[in-house]
C-alpha cells in the first residue's frame, strides 16, 4: 500500500463469520489538496481462480451449476447459477489452486493450464482478485464425478455443453455469472475452439 493520498485511520471487524467484513476509516487527499475522511466496508474472502475447460475436437466446454444464495435473494428465481469452475487459493499459488479446484469440482485432472488475465470482480466492496485460466480437456482426463468437496458443502453439477450453445446462453440470460461470461468471450475472441 503506497498511495500517498490515502491514510488508513482505523480498521474495525464487523463480521468474521464466513469471511471477514471490515469497516475502514481513511483520509483521502483530493486533487485540490483538501483532505476528507471516508468510511467504507470491504469484504475479504481471499483471492481466487477460475478456469474454462474446452475441447476443440468436440467444440465443447465444461461448466458447473450450483446454488448461490446471494443471487437467490436478489431475484434469481431458483438461485442456481451456471459458472466456470472456480475456487479460493487457500494459500496456494493460482495455478496449483485451479488444478485442485478443477479436479474437486469437475472431476477432470488437468496438467497444463494457461493464465490469461486477472481481474477484480467487485472492487467497490470485495478485496478479491480473480486469476483467469483456460485449459484443454479430453475424456481420458476424467478421474471422478466431481461435484465439489464434501467438507465445503458444495453440491455442484458438472455440465458439458457445446461452445456455441454456451455463448447463446449469455444472450438468453441462462448464464449471468461475470467470470464465466468473461472466459467464454475470451475463448471466442481468441478463437480457442477454432
**Is position 194 within any domain?**
no
Same domain, 119 and 172: yes
Q: How confident is the model at residue 1 (pLDDT cuts 50, 70, 90)?
A: low
Give the helix/strand (H/E) hosting 37: strand 35-44
63 and 120, same domain (yes or no):
yes
> pLDDT tens for residues 60-90?
999 999 999 999 999 988 999 999 999 999 9
- CA gap 43, 50 in Å, rounded: 19
Is there a domain that residue 21 lies in? yes
Query: Which residues make Cβ contacts (< 8 Å) with residue 82, sequence separation at least 6?
Result: 63, 64, 65, 159, 169, 174, 175, 177, 180
Residues 140 and 69 in one domain: yes
Residue 41 marked in a binding site: no
Nine cell digits for residue 20: 471477514
Note whether 58 and 112 are same-domain residues.
Answer: yes
101 known member of a binding site:
yes
Whether residues 30 and 54 share a domain: the answer is: no
Residues 28 and 54 in one domain: no
Residue 73 lies in a domain: yes
Looking at the fold, whether 169 and 94 belong to one and the same domain comes out as yes
3-state secondary structure of 181: helix
Q: Is residue 127 part of a domain?
A: yes
Q: Are 156 and 147 in contact (CB under 8 A)?
A: yes
Predicted confidence (pLDDT) at residue 179 exceeds the cutoff of 70: yes
Check residue 153 and give its pLDDT.
63
**Same domain as 158, residue 120:** yes
Same domain for 67 and 33, yes or no, is no
pLDDT tens per residue, range 146-170 = 877 666 667 899 999 999 999 999 9
Q: Are 129 and 86 contained in the same domain?
A: yes
* pLDDT value at residue 151: 64
**Within this chain, do residues 34 and 93 fall inside the same structural domain, yes or no?**
no
Same domain as 52, residue 40: no
**What's the rounded Cα separation, in Å, for the pair 22 and 116?**
31
Residue 2 has pLDDT above 90, yes or no: no
96/88 Cα distance (integer angstroms) = 11
- Residue 12 lies in domain: 6-44
Q: How many domains does the chain have?
A: 2
For 8-47, write each residue's pLDDT tens digit. 999 999 999 889 999 999 999 999 999 999 999 999 999 9
User: Is 120 a member of any domain?
Assistant: yes
Residue 1 included in any domain: no
Other C-beta atoms closer than 10 Å to the C-beta of 128 total 18
Amino acid at each position: 500500500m503506497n498511495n500517498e493520498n490515502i491514510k488508513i485511520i482505523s480498521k474495525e471487524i464487523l463480521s468474521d463469520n464466513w469471511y471477514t467484513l471490515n469497516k475502514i476509516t481513511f483520509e483521502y487527499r483530493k486533487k485540490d489538496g483538501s483532505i476528507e475522511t471516508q468510511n467504507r466496508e470491504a469484504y475479504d474472502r481471499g483471492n481466487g481462480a477460475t478456469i474454462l475447460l474446452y475441447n476443440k475436437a468436440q467444440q465443447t466446454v465444461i461448466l458447473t451449476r450450483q446454488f448461490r444464495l446471494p443471487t437467490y435473494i436478489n431475484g434469481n428465481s431458483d438461485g442456481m447459477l451456471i459458472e466456470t469452475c472456480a475456487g479460493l487459493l487457500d494459500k496456494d499459488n493460482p495455478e496449483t489452486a485451479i488444478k485442485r479446484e478443477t479436479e474437486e469440482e469437475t472431476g477432470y485432472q488437468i496438467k497444463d493450464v494457461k493464465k490469461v488475465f486477472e481481474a477484480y470482480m467487485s472492487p467497490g466492496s470485495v478485496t478479491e482478485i480473480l486469476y483467469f485460466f483456460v485449459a484443454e480437456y479430453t475424456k481420458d482426463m476424467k478421474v471422478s464425478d466431481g461435484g465439489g468437496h464434501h467438507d465445503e458443502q458444495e453440491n455442484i453439477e458438472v455440465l458439458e455443453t457445446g461452445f456455441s450453445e454456451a455463448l447463446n446462453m449469455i444472450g438468453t440470460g441462462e448464464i449471468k455469472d461475470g467470470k464465466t461470461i468473461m472466459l467464454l468471450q475470451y475463448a471466442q475472441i481468441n478463437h480457442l475452439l477454432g
